[in-house]
Chains A and B, each alone.
Chain A
Amino acid sequence: MEAISAERLVKIYGNSFHALKSITLSVNSGRVFSLLGRNGAGKTTLLRIMATQLLPTSGSVRVLGYDVVKEATEVRKRIAVVPQESKPMYLLTVKEHVKYYLMMRGLSMAEASERTRKVLDELDLKEYANTLCMKLSGGLKRKVLVAMAIATEADVVFLDEPTTGLDPIARRVVWDVINSVATSGQTIFLTTHNMYEVEAVAEEFALINDGELIIRGHVDEVQRMFPYKMRAEVQATASDPEELSEFGKVIMVGRRLIIYPRNEEDSKRLYEYCATKSLKVSISPVGVEDLFIKEVLAHGVYEER
């Protein structure tokens, strides 16, 4: 069953800025779906339209079969959102956040208290239940916001860049939360510009660039579509791209050189070459980052060799 479906969705800000250009997308229910894209690609605009916060210019979006424009009230009963860069209230405790948010959504005090207890238990937040949010670390603050959304038991939960600005440990904390929720049957739609996040939590994803969807599908399937199987990474300052291009396709990403060997033999030769030149090299299977690099190459962000 489809949890979300968008058809020829367009959003134009002012008279000229096309934030979304005819997006058509469907998300199956009970899955973690990730929308990947650079800053300004249109991720938040798409999420905000789906979550009834923003009106589209044209096209339609249905969430659980309800139109987000004409039947927003029905949609809002069934969704929960953690907006990008949202923060908890400083003078409330963790427990109060979840409980009052649930009561605001219409739950009785007893029901809200029970669900709060349950979600704090599930997300390992019990020991912080009575701690004021101003005293929590960045990761825990994010976790509280995610807990608020999860506790609603909404059919669809939207998470807009839930780990932006977090350190790697805090990021893992949030990923663990998402993964634990994913098994409960809720549909999670998250936006990110972090390729590793897609691999860490999502089953399906789409890549958005300049308001257009470029790739979409299952993470593994899309990876299989990639023309190379392995990738190697070396420091750009210590190596010669011309020489490395002998082993495969070379792309410069900031201070890194990414090499896609054509076959296993090339991988071996590359490894030996790096060993003789005392270059640090890491060779691994291709991932979502590689798809991302491939697709944004066309926009001149990275230098191809």
Chain B
Amino acid sequence: MEFMKSARAILAIVMFNGVKPVIRSPLWLIVMLAYPLILVFFIYIFAEYAVSDALIGGLISLVVVSGIAIQADIVWYKVELKFQDMAVASPVSPTVYMVGMAISELVYSSPAIAPFLILMTLRGMISTSGIPMLVLSMLMCWLSALSIGFYLSTHISDIRHIWALESLLTIALSMLPPVYYPIDLLPEWARTVSMCIPTTHAALLAKEAVGIISLTEHQRLISFFVLFLWTVVLLFVARRKSVWREP
């Protein structure tokens, strides 16, 4: 019974924060797709050999954006519309609210992810054996970005700061690290620094899953462990430090 109630609550949140706004304002879908696709286009023109890397980069970028974007929506509902107060004073739990909001963000990014998957299939990058790792790395990447977004949303109350922070985080997580381009292009010191960023490891695992690079057993384990650790720590922080009822 409780499960059914939670499922309905999640469905309702996905409808009002995802499906309905997307249908009524489809421009967002184009914005979501245009940004990573333009980067892929430029990489195709200037360095065709890196297009496969760029497609993985675009995919990670979309996943990161759809995770981090939760902060803007939560702050909007909390500060501007005061809808979160209505949610707090209702039977909906913070976990259900967060899951609903998170899934609704995917409604915006899913249609943009599809063309990337199609392009990857056309380039022969998708194989049955590679799908599990590709999905797993994207999932951990999304959960990490989501946790960062959720944590920040409960501590920042000015929507203008949120917009700025969202852009900065997207750059820091999906543009600067070797996500759109091969890690070998970086000098040694920058390569070491990039190893601290979770999306670097998500990119390494995903690129191996689609056959662009080959990792040693040791490298694969390290990348998986670091990404997993980031995901667990960020989820824990988001769960523990987020504020539902104000102190």
Could you list which residues of chain A lie within 8 angstroms of chain B, going by C-beta atoms?
48, 51-55, 72-73, 76-77, 79-89, 91-92, 96-97, 100-101, 103-109, 132, 148-149, 152, 158
Interface pair B11/A76, CB less than 8 Å apart: no
> Once bound together, how far apart are the Cα atoms of A149 and B89, in whole Å?
11
Question: DSSP class of B's interface residues: helix, strand, loop or mixed?
Answer: helix
Question: Binary interface profile of B, 103-146, with partner A (CB < 8 Å = 1, else 0)?
Answer: 00000000000000000000000000000000000000000000
Give the chain B neighbours of A73 by CB distance below 8 A.
Answer: 91
Interface pair B15/A101, CB less than 8 Å apart: no
Q: State how many angstroms separate the Cβ of A89 from the closest Cβ of chain B.
A: 6
> Once bound together, how far apart are the Cα atoms of A87 and B15, in whole Å?
18
Q: Which residue of B lies closest to A69 (CB)?
A: B245
Interface pair B9/A106, CB less than 8 Å apart: yes
Of the A-B pairs whose beta carbons lie under 8 Å apart in the complex, a sample of 23, sorted by A's number, is A48-B85, A52-B245, A53-B85, A53-B245, A55-B245, A77-B91, A80-B86, A81-B85, A83-B82, A83-B85, A84-B82, A86-B81, A87-B82, A89-B21, A89-B83, A91-B25, A100-B15, A104-B12, A105-B9, A105-B90, A107-B8, A108-B8, A152-B90
Give the chain B neighbours of A91 by CB distance below 8 A.
Answer: 20-21, 24-25
Q: State how many angstroms separate the Cβ of B72 from the closest Cβ of chain A.
A: 14
> Once bound together, how far apart are the Cα atoms of A73 and B88, in whole Å?
10
Q: Which residue of A lies closest to B23 (CB)?
A: A91
Q: State how many angstroms separate the Cβ of B159 from the closest Cβ of chain A.
A: 13
Interface pair A51/B83, CB less than 8 Å apart: no
Give the chain A neighbours of B100 by CB distance below 8 A.
Answer: 104
Give the chain A neighbours of B88 by CB distance below 8 A.
Answer: 51-53, 76
Give the chain B neighbours of A105 by CB distance below 8 A.
Answer: 9, 90-92
Q: Which residue of A lies closest to B21 (CB)?
A: A91
Give the chain A neighbours of B80 by CB distance below 8 A.
Answer: 87
> Once bound together, how far apart are the Cα atoms of A51 and B82, in whole Å?
14
Interface residues of B in 42-80 (CB under 8 A from A): 80
Interface pair A82/B81, CB less than 8 Å apart: no
B87: Cβ under 8 A from any A Cβ: yes
Q: Which residue of B lies closest to A108 (CB)?
A: B8
Interface pair B245/A132, CB less than 8 Å apart: no
Most chain A CB atoms below 10 A, which of B8, B11, B80: B8
With A83-B82, A87-B81, A106-B8 as given contacts, are A54 and B245 in contact (CB-CB < 8 Å)?
yes
